[in-house]
C-alpha cells in the first residue's frame, strides 16, 4: 500500500524522508497495483474482510518492495504487501529472533 493511500509520482532517483536518519527511494510505488483501486480496501474495519486488498496485492509486481517498506517503517495499519498488521508483527519478530541467533 502506498503511504497515505495516495499514489506518489516521484521522479526516478528522488528520495523521500522516512525518518530523520533514513532516506529511501520510493520508485516502486509508481508500479504498485494499489494506486489503481480505492485505498479504503486496504484499511478494513476491525473484523472486516481484507480479501479484496489481498487479491490486489497478489497480482502486484512490487508486492515484496511494499512489504519490505512496511516492515522497515513499522506500518501499523492496513494491508501492505498482502499482509495484515498481525502478520507483519510476526514477521518482524521472526527476523529479530533470526538476527539474535546469528549474532550469538
> Where do the structural domains in the chain lie, given as residue ranges?
3-103
Residues 13 and 25 sit within 8 Å (Cβ to Cβ): yes
pLDDT for res 104: 82
Q: Do you know the residue count of the chain?
A: 104
Q: How far is CA 2 from CA 8, 75, 99, 101, 102, in A?
A: 7, 11, 28, 33, 32
pLDDT reported for residue 10: 46
d(CA 80, CA 84): 7
User: Who contacts 58 (Cβ-Cβ below 8 Å, separation ≥6)?
Assistant: 82
State the pLDDT at residue 4.
52
Report residues of the chain scoring pLDDT below 50. Answer: 6-11, 20-21
Pairing of strands 15-17, 23-25: antiparallel
| Per-residue pLDDT, 26 | 77
Select from 11, 5, 7 the least CA-distant residue to 25. Answer: 11
**Residue 93, helix vs strand vs coil:** helix
pLDDT for residue 27: 85
pLDDT of 53 reads 98
Amino acid at each position: 500500500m502506498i503511504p497515505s493511500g495516495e499514489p506518489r509520482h516521484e521522479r526516478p532517483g528522488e528520495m523521500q524522508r522516512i525518518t530523520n536518519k533514513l532516506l529511501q527511494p520510493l520508485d516502486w510505488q509508481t508500479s504498485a497495483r494499489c494506486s489503481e483501486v480505492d485505498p479504503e480496501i486496504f484499511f478494513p474495519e476491525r473484523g472486516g474482510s481484507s480479501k479484496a486488498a489481498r487479491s490486489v496485492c497478489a497480482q502486484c509486481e512490487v508486492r515484496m518492495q511494499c512489504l519490505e517498506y512496511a516492515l522497515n517503517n513499522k506500518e501499523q495499519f492496513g494491508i501492505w504487501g498482502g499482509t495484515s498488521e498481525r502478520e507483519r508483527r510476526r514477521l518482524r519478530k521472526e527476523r529479530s529472533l533470526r538476527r539474535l541467533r546469528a549474532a550469538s
